[in-house]
Structure 1
Amino acid sequence: MLEIADLHVRYATAEAVRGVSLSATPGRVTLVLGANGAGKTSTLRAAAGLVRVHAGRVALDGRDVTGLPPHRLVRAGVVLVPEGRRVFAPLTVEENLVLGGYTASRERSREVLDRVHAMFPILRERRSGPAGLLSGGEQQMLAFGRALMSSPRVVMLDEPSMGLAPTMVESVLGAVRAMADDGLSVLLVEQNAELGLEVADDVVAMARGEVVFSGPAAQARSHASVLRAFLGEAALVE
């Protein structure tokens, strides 16, 4: 379980995240909604050790991991799939996956690779081809698979549907749901609120660096502050 408590993140004098608290629980998808600039990505990057935590706490299964560098967090079981996928385009699909398992033994890496291939059969089919020739949706599957190669307990996903064709978005979010159903704690930042809510168990809505709603996904659909934070005032007009 990943717990973020009273998190503050600053860039120079600007405070991007102000007192955010949320958690990601095994077997559940926690969806983070909010307009551009709400602090969603900064929250994920702080939890992943990529930006400095000015104040607050990040804990994994009760252990304080605040401020640990990214490689130590990966070894502890926390991975981030960043916005834009960022696959290594000249390398093959399989080479990308193997790089994701750098913390594991060769035997363990092979075992996890088989599981990744079972979850994403297209990666097995394209394993010898350059990652840069995959479609956007296939590259997102590769980014997911690469993250899973480290056998994480917590997976943080930043805008996985961005830039994808509509036919691929549901497949990608279906894969997100499958990760949680496999027992992982999933923290999802997603621009497509409607589809995100379909796979989410819990919802956190952010505005101006603060949490304005936190609760079950079933409640989020009818909660005014969620609509206001993500869709603007017009969403509240009946």
Structure 2
Amino acid sequence: MIEIRDLHVDYGKVSAVRGVSVTAHPGRVTLVLGANGAGKTTTLRTVAGLNAPTSGEILVDGKSVVGWPAHRILARGVSLVPEGRRVFSSLTVGENLKVGGLIASKKDREESMRRAFEMFPILEERQDGPAGLLSGGEQQMLAFGRSLMSQPSYILMDEPSMGLAPAVVDRVMDSVRAIADRGIGVLMVEQNAEAGMKIADDVVVVNRGESVYSGPVEEARKHSSVVSAFLGEAALTGSDSGVES
């Protein structure tokens, strides 16, 4: 289990996160909602070791990882799928996957590659082609597959639906659910509230760097006024402006 307790993160004199508490369980999707600038991405980056917390606790399976470098947190079983996918466009699909498995043994990399191809057959079909020629949705599948190569217990996902057409968003969210159903805990930041809530188990709402709501997705749906207060009605209906196929 990932436990984030009263997390505070400052950028100089600016408080980006000031009191976020989130719990993510194995085999469950925990959805973090909030307006732009609420501190969601900073929270994920801090859990992944890319930002240093000012105060608070981050525990992975009961072990504090505060102050650990990113590679050590990855080895602990926490992988990050960053916003915007960030695949290596000039490398092949297969090479991108291998990058994700650098910390694993050769045997584990081969097994992880097999599982990634099993979950995302398009990656096997395109494994020898440049990742930059994949569509937006295919690149997101590659980003997921790359994160699985380290055999994580938990995956942090930052805006996986960003820039994707509605039909592609559904496929991406189905993939998120499939990853969790394999026993991996998913902590996901997502602007498309409705798409995220379709596959999430638990919901946390963050406003101005603070956690203001936490509970099962069924309860969150009963409190849609809480969600809409911080995201607006467009998020609940799944706005699809500026899409990419």
TM range (shorter): over 0.9
Give the C-alpha shift of residue 8 in structure 1: 0.1
- Determine the C-alpha separation between the residues in 1 that align with 2:232 and 2:25: 26
Q: Is the 1:212–1:229 contact (alpha carbons within 8 Å) kept by the matching residues of 2?
A: no
Within 5 Å, give how 1:170-209 maps onto structure 2: 170-209=170-209
Deviations 1:18-53 (A, max 9, x none): 111111101100000000011100100110111110
Partner in structure 2 of residue 99 of structure 1:
99
Residue 144 of structure 1: SS of its match in structure 2?
helix
- RMSD value over aligned CA atoms? 1.4
- Determine the C-alpha separation between the residues in 1 that align with 2:171 and 2:226: 29
Amino acid at match of 2:65: V
Within 5 Å, give how 1:111-190 maps onto structure 2: 111-190=111-190
Amino acid at match of 1:226: V
Runs of 4+ displaced beyond 4 Å: none
Residue 151 of structure 1: SS of its match in structure 2?
coil
Partner in structure 2 of residue 6 of structure 1:
6
Unaligned segments of structure 2, at least 5 residues: 237-245
TM-score by length of 2: 0.94
Give the C-alpha shift of residue 227 in structure 1: 2.1
Q: How many percent identity over aligned positions?
A: 60
Partner in structure 2 of residue 76 of structure 1:
76
- Determine the C-alpha separation between the residues in 1 that align with 2:62 and 2:205: 24
- Determine the C-alpha separation between the residues in 2 that align with 1:169 and 1:44: 21
Amino acid at match of 1:99: V
Residue 221 of structure 1: SS of its match in structure 2?
helix
Residue 31 of structure 1: SS of its match in structure 2?
strand
- Determine the C-alpha separation between the residues in 1 that align with 2:200 and 2:174: 11
- Determine the C-alpha separation between the residues in 2 that align with 1:201 and 1:87: 28
Partner in structure 1 of residue 227 of structure 2:
226
Unaligned segments of structure 1, at least 5 residues: none
Q: Is the 1:79–1:152 contact (alpha carbons within 8 Å) kept by the matching residues of 2?
A: yes
What is the aligned length?
A: 235
TM-score by length of 1: 0.96
Give the C-alpha shift of residue 229 in structure 1: 1.6
Deviations 1:91-122 (A, max 9, x none): 00000001100011111100110000000000
Give the C-alpha shift of residue 167 in structure 1: 1.6
